[in-house]
Amino acid sequence: MTHKREIQGKVVSIAGDKTISIVVERRVMHPRYHKVVKRFKKYLVHDERNEVKVGDEVIATECRPLSKTKSFRLKTVVTGAK
């Protein structure tokens, strides 16, 4: 059994039927200035039941490629939109 990668991020858009776009933020140390800076990456996530809204905090798990750019499935909704 292989370990599936999990990502946590905020929903920024509903990208079509059963697809959401989330942005994942990570904090890294700048190599020269030694200051913590934010790095962002967007992922497309499969949402089978169309249950999330923009602004929700979600956890997605890695799966087989579902399309050209979609390789994550929605696992849980951590917090709802405010």
The answer to whether the CB of 42 falls within 8 A of the CB of 22 is yes
CA distance 8 to 16: 20
Structure tokens at 43: 């992922």
How many other C-beta atoms are found inside a 10 Å radius of the C-beta of residue 76?
11
pLDDT of residue 17: 93
74 has a pLDDT exceeding 80: yes
pLDDT per position as a tens digit, 12-71 = 999 889 999 999 999 999 999 999 999 999 999 999 999 999 999 999 999 999 999 999
